Each structure stands twice: as structure tokens, then as C-alpha cells.
Amino acid sequence: MAILVVSGKREEVADGQTISAAVADLGLHPDAYLYVVGGTPVPMDTVLSGQEVRLLRVASGG
């Protein structure tokens, strides 16, 4: 199991899926976040394999 950390809340998700699929399964919009593993940004198409991924909300607007 991998862990997604969203706003301080830890969510367990299944390994073998992409970060974007796991985020969408939680009812969130994958494009609204940056993803960080071990202090390093990773792409949303990274396949989960037991790591902890921190989601950082992106502020956008004009």
C-alpha cells in the first residue's frame, strides 16, 4: 500500500496504479496538485509502489 498525504490527512491507496488515478479515486482533481516523494517532485503518471506521496495544492488564477 502507498500513502497519499493530503492536507495532513493520510490516505492508504493500492499499489500498481498511477498517482493521478489514485487521486481521482479519492474524488480530487489530479491537475490541482504537485506530487512530492522524499522531497523530490514526481510526475502524476508515477506508478505507486509503497511510497509516501505528499500532495501540494497548486494556487492558480489570474
Q: Which structural domain range is residue 36 located in?
A: 2-57
Number of independent structural domains in the chain: 1
In this prediction, residue 30 carries a pLDDT of: 97
Is 27 a domain residue? yes
Is 62 a domain residue? no
Mind listing the pLDDT tens digit for each residue in 1-44? 999 999 999 999 999 999 999 999 999 999 999 999 999 999 99
Residue 48: DSSP 8-state: P
Is 19 a domain residue? yes
CATH number at residue 37: 3.10.20.30
Residue 3: its H or E element: strand 2-6
Is 40 a domain residue? yes
In this prediction, residue 59 carries a pLDDT of: 87
In this prediction, residue 29 carries a pLDDT of: 96
Is 44 a domain residue? yes
In this prediction, residue 61 carries a pLDDT of: 78
